[in-house]
Amino acid sequence: MVDRVTSVACVWVEAFAAAAAERAEPRLREQPMAVVVGVAPTTRIVDANAAAREHGVRSGIAEAEAVARCPHLVRRPASTACVDAAHRALLDACYGVSPRLEDVVPGLVHVDVAGLGRLVGDATAAADRLHRAARSIGLPARVGVAGTRAAARIAARAGLGVVASGGEAEALASVSVNAVEWPDQISEALSRWGVATLGELAALPRAGLAARLGPAGLTAHDLACGVDDPTPWRSWTLPPFWEEAQELDWEIHELGPLMGVLGRVVERLMARLCAAYLVADALELRVALAGGGHHARTLALACPMDAARPVLTLLEHELGARPPQGAVTAVAVQASAIPRGAVSARLGHTAPPAERDLATVLAHLVTLVGPDAVGAVALADSHRPDAFVAARLDPEAVSATSDVPLDPVLALRRLRPPRRVRVVVDGDQRPSMVSGALAPDARVLGCAGPWRVSGEWWDAGVWGRDEWDVALSDGAVCRLARDLRSGEWYLDGVYD
Amino acid sequence: MFVELHAQSAFTFLEGADQPEAFVAEAARRGMPALALMDRDGVYGAPRFHRAAVDAGIRPLLGSELTLAGGARLPVLVEDREGWQHLCALITRAKLGAPKGKATITLEDLERHATGLVCLTGGARGPLAAAVHAGDRDGARRALERLVAIFGRDNVYVEVQRHFDRQQERDLERLVALARAARVPLLAANQPLYARPGGRAVADVFTCIREKTDLDHAGRRLLVNAERGLRDARAMAAAFRDLPDALAAGGELALRLGFTLKDLGYRFPDFPLPPAASAQAHLRDLVARGVRERYGAQGELVERARRQVAHELEIIGRLDLAGYFLIVWDIVQFCRGNDVLVQGRGSAANSAVCYALGITAVDPIKMDLLFERFLSESRGEWPDIDLDLPSGERRERVIQYVYQRYGRLGAGMTANVITYRGRSAAREIGKALGLPADMQDRLARLVENWGYQDPQAVLTRHLAEAGCDTRHPRIRKFAALWTRVQDLPRHLGQHSGGMVIAAGRLDHVVPLERATMPGRVVVQWDKDDCAALGIVKVDLLGLRMMSVLQESIALVSETGGTVDLAQLPADDPTVYRMLQRADTIGVFQVESRAQMATLPRIHPERFYDLVVQIAIIRPGPIVGDMVHPYVRRRRGRERVTYAHPSLEPILERTLGVPLFQEQLLRIAMVAAGFTGTEAEELRRAFGFKRSERRMAEVEVKLREGMARRGIVGKSADEIVHQITSFALYGFPESHSSSFALLAYASAYLKAHHGPAFYTALLNNQPMGFYHSATVVNDARRRGVRVLPVDVTRSDWLCTLERRDEAWAVRLGLRFVKGLRERAAQALMAARATRPFASPADLAARAELTHEEIATLASIAALAPLGGTRRANLWRVAERNAGRLFAPQAVENADPAPTHPLREMNALERLVADYGGTGVTLGPHPMALRRAALAARGVTRAIDLARGEDDTRVRVAGSVIVRQRPGTAKGFVFLSLEDETGIANVIVTPDLFARCRLPLVSEPFLLVDGILQMQDGVVSVRATRVESLPRLAHVVPSHDFG
C-alpha cells in the first residue's frame, strides 16, 4: 500500500561531495575547492564548491584543466567516509524537524512535513526550519516543498521554494529541463526535440511520448507535471548501533581495573549480538582520557565471534602492547556485526580450532614477534635460498603431508642461522681451507661449485651468494656460502 | 679455441638484451675471432650483425633457434648457402603456418630441410632438456638419435652450458653421459643474452614484460644470476676445464661454417623479354621510344635528352640494372593499364631514363637535374625508385599485382622494426619495476621531453625536477634501464610501401612472415638491411592526393570535360594568382599555415617558384635560416651574391641561396673538381649519418680541390661552411619538383574544376591540414555550391550534381555520423528499386537503426520525403514496430505531418548539422554572432587586408588550426575562421603562458592585437585573448599536429 504524503519537503545539498569536504574543513569555504577522484593523470573533478564553480570548474573535467582554469584551486581527494558522515548528519538534522524521512541519495532527503503545523508552522516555516537545521551542521541546503516528492525535488533544485499543493504542474512549467537528471535516452530525445522547459515537456502528448520513449517517457512526463512515480515512501529509521560504553566516576591508571570495566562492557555487547543472531567481525575500542584526549584501537578478529572471553584477551594484549597515554575516564566498544550463518562450519570439513584458543594464541604470538612474523609459512617464488613468506593462517588448509620431493641420495642438514667461518681460497678462488666449521681447521679435499645466485638488483634488498659443496679433511661434507656483497663465508649446512 | 655459437640478441624479442652490434663490439674487444648469432625463429638481426662483424674483423656465423611443435627450441647453424636457403624456408614455413608472432616446426619439416644445417641440442629449452632434467635417459637418448637421423652424425652436437647453476650441473652430467654413449660430440656454449655489463637487468625486465608481471612477482622466471653475458675463451676455459673437447668443438665447428650473407644467392627477377633481345637492348628501345614521345623528333632539348639517356644507359648497363628499370616500368605500365594514377618521386626524378619510361613526370633535362644524385657507379647500391599511388584499394591492387607477377613466395613487404622509445619504454619499465600507476604515468609524460642521448646524470636531474626521489634504488634503476633499452627492438612491423622481389623464391633468401594485413607477407629485414644486401626494393607509397587527383579527373570527365595531367598548361595565370593569394586550402604541400604565410612573400610566378616554395618551408631550411635570405632577395631587398663567381650558374635559380642537395653536389663538382659520385659521397658524409672521421677526410679533399682551382681563403671557407651546414638540411630538387607537379595539378583542379576537386577532396578525408568543415567553407567562399545530405540523392561518397546550370557538390552519406556503410549501401539499393514513400518506408527497407534514422532526420536528410527536421524527428522516434515498419504506414504516409514540437532555429540547425555530419551548409557560427561582434568592434577576416599595418585590430572566429612548431621558439599560430575567411593570429610565448587554457581548448576566440602586413601576408599579433561562449557542438580543428 502506498503511503499518502500530502506535503513533502526536499532537502538538497548542491555538489554534496564538496559540501561534505567543507563541513569537515570549514576554512575551505573561503577559497575555490574541488573534490577529485582517480589516479593521475586521469584525475577528475567530482564536485566543486561555489567559488570554484565561478572559475569554470565543473564536475567531470580533468584536474589539470580545473587547475588551469583556477590556478589557486584547492583539491581534496574524494572520501566516502566524509560523504557518509555528512549525509548521516543531514539525516539527523532533518530527523530533528520531522520523524518521517526518506533517504534518497547522499545530499538528498525527502521529509514529510504534513501535520507539522502546530509544532513548526506552515510549509514555509517547515522549509525554513529544515534549511536552518542543515546550516547548523555546516551544510548549505536548498529546500523545496510541494505536494509530491517529484515536485519538491525540482522545486529544491530550481530554487522555487514552496509550491502550492495541486499547482505543481503550473509552478514547474518554466523550469529548465536541465534541472532534472534524466536517463540518457530521455535527455537525448529532449535535446533533439528542442524541448527546453518542463512545461514544454508536459505539453507533449502523453500517448505520443509513450509510443516513442516507452515507460521512461511516461515517467518523464509525470515528472514534468510534478506527479510522483508510484514507488512507496521508504521511511528511514535510525540504524541499530552496536556499541556499548561506560563512563567512569573515577580515573583508571592500571590495566587490571580497566579490564574489569571492559569485561562488563564487552559482555553486554556480545549478549546483544547473540540476541540478534550476529557475531562481531571487527571491534573498535575507544577510551576517553583525563585531560580531554582519546585513545582508539581497531581490532580485526581472526574469525568472527560472539564470545566475550577471547575478545577480552585480545583487548588485554592490545592495551598491554599499546597502553593509553593517560588515565582513563570512559570506555566504549563498538562492533562491526555480520550474520552468524556466514561463519558456520561446512559439512564434511574438519572443525576449525576453537575460536578462543586460536585467537588467544595468535594474539600472544603477535604481541611477541609482531604481526608480520605470524602466519603459515610458504615458500616464496624466488631464487633466494630459504626465501619464505608468512601467509594468513588458515587452519582448514593445514595439511600434514608435504609436496616437496625428498632427495633420496643426500640430505642437507641446514644450519639456521648459518655459522660464520673463515675460508682460505686458492689461486682459482676455490676454497682450500676452512676454519671454525665443525672442527677447528680443515683442509678442503674436494669441492664443487660455485653455484651462484643473486637477485633483487632493482631494490634495496639486492643480494648475491656463491655456494660450494666441499669435502673436508675431517671427513665432513659441507655446503659453504659466500656473501658476494660482504665477502663473508658461512657454513650453510652439512650433508648427512 | 673457443667460439661462442649460441648468442641471442634483442632480436630474440623480449629475451635478448643487446643489439647485434653490441655483441660484435664486445667480441672484438675481447679478441674473439668469430661469433654466431642465433635468434629465435628468425634472422632479423643477421644483416646488422654481418655488417658490424665484417667491419670489426670478426667472422659472422649465422643460425637460428627454431621453435619445435611442443615448445622446445632447436638451435641450428648454417654451413653453406643451401643451409641458409633451408633455414629461411623453414622459418617461413613456421611463420606462415602459424598465427602472427608464433611459429612451430615439426621434425618432418626438419627432415626435408636439414641439408647444410648443423644442429645443437640447445640449453634449458632445448629438445633434450625436459627428458634429461627428469632423468628419463631413454627419452633423451631417443630424442638425440632422432636428431642424428635427421641431420647426420657429423652435424649434431650436444650443447653443454655452465651458468653456475646447481641444477644445470646435474643435467650437464647426464648430458655428457648421453653424448659419450651415443658418440655425439659435445659443444660448450654460454648462450649469452647480452654483451655489456648490466644486461641481466634488461633481460629480467624483458621477462617481466613477456610474462606480464613485475620484478617483485616474477620469482624464478627471472635469471638465476648474472652469468648470461658474452664470455670469452678464458672464462669458458675456466668453466669447462674438465671438458676440453666440448670447449674446442666450437672453434672446430666455426671453421666448417662457411656461409656469409655475401653469399646470399639473391637474384633479381628476369624480366620477360622479346625473343633474342637482351634486357639492356630492350630498355634502350623503350627509352628511345619514350624520348621521342616526350621530346619529339628534333630540337635542342631532344639532343640534350639523347645525350643524357645515352650516358645514363651506359651506367645502367655497366651496373647491370636494366632488368630493374624494366620491372619498375612494368609496374608503371600495369598502373596505366588499370586506371591507377602513378608518379615516381624522390631522386628517380633526376633520371632522364625514368622520365622517358614514364616512371617520373619531372623533365630532368629541362630542369637541369643531376643524375648522380640518383645513381652512381661507385656506390654499389641499387637505385631507389619510389612510386606514389592513390591510397587504398588502388594501391593494394598494385601490391597484389606484384605478388601475382612474382609469386606469393617471390615478393614481400619490407619490415619495419618497432623499437623501444620514449613513452612506451618508460611505461613498460615502470610497470616491470612495480612502480605505482600514477608514477608510471608521470615518468612516461616526463621522458617525452628527454633527448634520448641525454647522459644519465641529466636523466637523474630530470627525475629529481619531476619530484621523483632519485635516492630510491628503483628510480635510479628506471633511469638506467630507460636509457639502456632505447632503440632495442620490440617487435616487427611492416614498412608502409617497400616491396622486395626475387627471382625464384624470396623465402630462400630471407624468411617471410605473415603481416597483420590479410594477403600480405613481410620479410624479416627492413629496407636498409635489404638495400645493404643488394635486395632490390620498390616503394609503392600511398598518397591521398593521388587519389584526389584521380577522382577529380574522373569527375571532370563525368561532367563532359577533360583533364590530362601530362598536358596541363605550364604557367596558368589563374593558378598562380591563387597561389600568390595563399588561397591554397586543399592544395598539395602548400596548404599548411606556414606555407600560407610564405606564399604571398615568395609570390610564385612560374613552376620553379613552386619547387622552391615546397622545399623552403621545412624544418631544415627554417632552422638553417635559409628562408629569410631567399625571401629578401626575392623581394629585391638584398643583393644576390655568390661565394665565388663559378657558383653563379648553379645558384642563380635560387638567387644565390643554396636550397637543394643537387646544388650542393654541383658546387663540389664545379668548385673542387669532384666527380658526380664523389660529390654524392660528400653529401652523405655530411648528411644525417655524420661521422667525424669521414667529414674531416672529405673536407680536406674538398679544400684541396678548391685550392687547385684557385679558390682559397674566405671564399673557400664560405663554400665549406655552406656545404657542411647545408648538407644536413637540403632537400632534393628532384623530390621537390615531383611534389610541385602534384601541387600544381591540385591547384589547377581547384582553380578550374572546383566542384570536381572539392568532391574528391571531401571523399578522401581525413587528409591534409584541414577538417572537412573548413574544406566545405572554402568551397562555398569560392562559389562552389555544396548540397546537403539527401536520402533520395546522396550516394555513400560525395557526388556531382547539376544545379541551376552549374555543377554542385552533393555531400555523401559517409558524412552522416554513426551511419554504417552497409546500411547506406542498403539504402541506395532500396532507392534504386523504387523511391521511398516516407521515412518509415526508408527505415524499413534500408533496415536502419533508430539512431541512424534519427540522425538523418536531424540533419534534414529526410526533408525531401516531406516534413521539417523536427517533424521527422518526432515521426521517426515512434517505437511501435507495427506502426513504423508495417506496410500501411507507407500507404498512409503524410507528406506534411503535424507534430507537437517547436521547429529548429538557426542555432539549433547549426548544432544538428555539426553533430550529425561535422559540417554545416547553413550560416557560419560566427555569422550568427556577427551583430554582437560588430558592436564590439570586431573586424571580419576579409576586411583585414584593407586595414593599416601596425594598427590595433580585433578579430574573432572559430579556431580551425593551432600550431606550435618546434622551429618557432615557442610562438603559437592560430587560424580563426569566420563567415568571410580566415584570420591568422600569432601568439607570443608570454601570452601563451598567460592564456594557455583558452588558447588550447576554447573553440571560439576573440583576439585583440596589432595588424601586421608584410608583402601581402596579413596577420594579427595577439596582445589579448578572450574566449567566446561555446555552442553545443564540437568545433573540429587541427591542433598541434
Q: In this model, does residue B358 exceed pLDDT 50? A: yes
Q: What pLDDT score was predicted for residue B451?
A: 41
What is chain B's mean pLDDT, rounded? 89
The letter for the amino acid at B963 is Q
Residue A367 lies in a domain: no
HEC sequence for B607-674: HHHHHHHHHHCCHHHHHCCCHHHHHHHHCCCCCCCCCCHHHHHHHHHHCCCCCEHHHHHHHHHHHHCC
Note whether B468 and B443 are within 8 A (CB). yes
pLDDT range class, residue B1007, cuts 50, 70, 90: very high
Q: How confident is the model at residue B655 (pLDDT cuts 50, 70, 90)?
A: very high
Q: pLDDT tier at A352 (50, 70, 90 boundaries)?
A: low
Torsion sign across C-alpha atoms B552, B555, B557, B560: negative
Identity at B521, one-letter amino acid code? V
Residues within 8 A of B (CB atoms), A 281-340 only: none
Query: How many structural domains compose chain A?
Result: 3
Mutate which of A67, A457, A458, A463 to disrupt the B interface (most B C-beta within 10 Å)?
A458
What whole-number distance in Å separates Cα of residue B674 and Cα of residue B664?
11
Q: Is B900 on the interface with A (CB under 8 A)?
A: yes
Identify which has the larger pLDDT, B688 or A339: A339
Q: What is the CATH number of the domain that holds A106?
A: 3.30.70.270
What is the pLDDT at residue A350? 45
Q: What is the pLDDT of residue A2?
A: 41
A59 and A126 both lie in a single domain:
yes
Amino acid code (one letter) for B130: A
Contact B883 A195 (CB under 8 A): no
Q: For residues B616 and B138, what is the distance between their CA atoms, to the nearest angstrom?
A: 74
Question: How far from the centroid of its chain's Cα atoms is residue B87's Cα?
Answer: 30
pLDDT of residue B713: 87
- CB atoms closer than 10 angstroms to residue B340: 21
For residue A329, the distance in angstroms to the closest alpha carbon of chain B comes to 44
A75 & A129 share domain: yes
Same-domain status, A33 and A160: yes
Q: Please count the other Cβ atoms lying within 10 Å of the Cβ belonging to residue B609.
A: 19
A428 touches chain B (CB under 8 A): yes
Model confidence at B39: pLDDT above 80: yes
Calculate the alpha carbon distances from B33 to B29, B30, B619, B646, B722 in Å.
Answer: 11, 9, 45, 52, 44
- The answer to which of A288-297, A426-435, B80-89 has the lowest mean pLDDT is A288-297
Q: Is A264 helix (H, G, I), strand (E, B) or coil?
A: helix
- For an interface test with B, the pick among A43, A457, A467, A495 (most B C-beta atoms closer than 10 Å) comes out as A457
Three cell numbers written together for A444: 678442503
Spatial CA neighbour of B187 closest among B199, B175, B205: B175
Residues A268 and A232 in one domain: no
**Residue A88 domain-assigned (yes or no):** yes
Shortest CA distance from B873: residue in chain A: A193
pLDDT band at B927 (very low <50, low <70, confident <90, very high): very high
As for the ipTM of the complex, it is 0.71
Contact B976, B983 (CB under 8 A): yes
pLDDT class of B207 with cuts at 50, 70, 90: very high
Q: What is the pLDDT of residues B804-832, one digit of tens each?
A: 889 999 999 999 999 999 999 999 999 99
Lowest-pLDDT range of A1-15, A315-329, B424-438, B933-947: A1-15
Residues A468 and A482 grouped into a single domain: yes
A242, A272 contact by CB (below 8 A):
yes
The distance of A382 to chain B (nearest Cα, Å) reads 4
Model confidence at B925: pLDDT above 80: yes
State the Cα–Cα distance between residues B1013 and B944, nearest whole angstrom.
Answer: 9
How confident is the model at residue B274, as a pLDDT? 85
A45: Cβ–Cβ under 8 A, 6 or more apart, which residues? Answer: A34, A35, A36, A57, A58, A59, A60, A61, A62, A63, A66
Please write the tens of the pLDDT for every residue from A132-191.
Answer: 999 988 899 999 999 999 999 999 999 999 998 888 999 999 999 999 989 999 999 999
Boundary residue ending a domain (A322, A339, A356): A339
Same domain, residue pair A277 and A217 = no
Q: In the predicted model, is pLDDT for residue A101 greater than 70?
A: yes
Q: Could you tell me the three cell numbers for B719?
A: 663554400
Confirm whether A379 is domain-assigned: no
| Predicted local distance difference test score (pLDDT) of residue B1033 | 61
Residue with grid cell 625571401, as numbered in its chain = B631
Residue of chain B with shortest Cα separation from A212: B878
A330: three-class secondary structure by DSSP: strand
Instruction: Label residue B838 exposed, middle or buried (CB < 10 Å: 0-12, 13-18, 19+).
Output: buried
CB–CB of B226 and A454 under 8 A?
yes
Characterize the bridge pairing of strands A463-472 and A441-455: antiparallel
Judge contact between A3 and A232, C-beta under 8 A.
Answer: yes
Q: Is B994 helix (H, G, I), strand (E, B) or coil?
A: helix
Q: Tell me how far apart the alpha carbons of residues A286 and A7 are, in angstroms, rounded to a whole number.
A: 42
Label each residue of B116-139 as H, E or C.
CEEEECCCCCCCCHHHHHCCCHHH
Please tell me chain B's helix, strand, coil percentages from 3-state DSSP, rounded to the nearest 5: 50, 15, 35
Burial class (CB in 10 A: 0-12, 13-18, 19+), B220: exposed
Per-residue pLDDT averaged across B30-48, rounded? 95
Looking at chain A, which residue has its C-alpha nearest residue B850? A212
Q: For residue B910, how many C-alpha atoms fall within 13 Å in the half-sphere facing its CB? A: 17
Range 289-318 of B in CB contact (< 8 A) with A: none
Question: Is it the case that residue A417 has pLDDT exceeding 70?
Answer: yes
Does a structural domain hold residue A440?
yes
Count Cβ–Cβ pairs < 8 Å, chain A vs chain B. Answer: 102
Q: How many residues does chain A have?
A: 496
Buried b (16+ CB within 10 A) or exposed e, B786-795: bbbbbbeebb
Phi-psi region of A198 (alpha: psi -120 to 50; beta: other; left: phi over 0): alpha
| Same domain flag for A248 and A235 | no
Tell me: the pLDDT tens digits for B658-687? 888 888 888 888 888 988 778 888 887 776
Residue B806 CB partners (closer than 8 Å, separation 6+): B755, B785
* pLDDT, position B277: 86
Does one domain contain both A155 and A281?
A: no
Contact between B1026 and B997 (Cβ < 8 Å): no
Q: Is A40 on the interface with B (CB under 8 A)?
A: yes
Average pLDDT over residues B342-359: 90
Tell which of A339, A367, A397 closes a domain. A339
Residue A240: which region, alpha, beta or left (left: phi > 0; alpha: psi -120 to 50)? beta
Three-state SS string across A145-179, please? EECCHHHHHHHHHHCCCECCCCCHHHHHCCCEHHH
In chain A, what residues touch B904 (CB-CB under 8 Å)? 194
Of the pLDDT bands very low, low, confident and very high (cuts 50, 70, 90), residue A42 is low
Tell me whether residue A396 is in a domain. Answer: no
Q: Per residue in B841-851, pLDDT tens?
A: 998 899 999 89
What CA–CA distance (Å, rounded) separates A8 from A116?
11
Q: Residue B996's pLDDT band (boundaries 50, 70, 90)?
A: confident
CA distance B801 to A352: 85
Instruction: Compute the mean pLDDT over every residue in chain A, rounded to the nearest whole number.
Output: 85
Same domain for A222 and A102:
yes
Q: Which amino acid is at B903?
A: E
Q: Are residues A231 and A181 in the same domain?
A: yes
Inter-chain CB proximity B442 and A211 less than 8 Å: no
The pLDDT of residue B881 is 40
Contact list in B for residue A212 (CB cut-off 8 A) is 874, 877-879
Instruction: Give the rounded percent of residues in chain B with a pLDDT score beyond 90.
Output: 59
Average pLDDT over residues A291-300: 81
What percentage of chain B reaches a pLDDT higher than 70?
93
Task: Write the pLDDT tens digit of every residue in A329-346.
Answer: 888 888 887 777 655 544
pLDDT, mean of residues B116-135: 93
Contacts of B445 in chain A (CB under 8 A): 41
Any domain includes A79 = yes
Position B413 scores a pLDDT of 92
Structure confidence at residue A429 (pLDDT): 87
Burial class (CB within 10 angstroms; exposed 0-12, middle 13-18, buried 19+) of B949 = exposed
Cis amide leading into B835 (omega within 30): no
For residue A397, name the pLDDT band (cuts at 50, 70, 90).
low
Cα–Cα distance list, B684 to A449, B674, B717, B795 (Å): 54, 14, 20, 51
The predicted pLDDT at position B897 comes to: 66
Place of cell 614455413: B93
DSSP string, B741-763: HHHHHHHHHHHH-HHHHHHHHHH
Question: Residue B896's pLDDT band (boundaries 50, 70, 90)?
Answer: low
Q: CB–CB of B185/B245 below 8 Å?
A: yes
On whether both A262 and A333 belong to a single domain, the answer is: yes
Residue B595 has pLDDT above 50, yes or no: yes
- CATH for A251: 3.30.1490.100
Question: How many Cα atoms sit within 13 Å of B526 on the Cβ side?
Answer: 14
Range of the domain at A442: 412-495
pLDDT at residue B791 greater than cutoff 70: yes
Contact between residue A194 and residue A176 where contact means Cβ atoms under 8 Å apart: no
pLDDT at res. B879: 66
Task: Give the residue from A219, A239, A259 where a domain finishes.
Answer: A239
For residue A274, tell me if it sits in a domain.
Answer: yes
Q: How confident is the model at residue B534 (pLDDT cuts 50, 70, 90)?
A: confident
What are B567's three cell numbers?
598536358
The string of pLDDT tens digits covering residues A434-455 is 988 766 788 999 999 899 999 9
Same domain, A320 and A202: no
Residue A404 lies in a domain: no
Cβ contacts of A194 on chain B, cutoff 8 Å: 870, 901-902, 904, 908
> Mind giving me the DSSP string for B143-196?
HHHHHHHHH-GGGEEEEE--SS-HHHHHHHHHHHHHHHHHT--EEE----SBSS
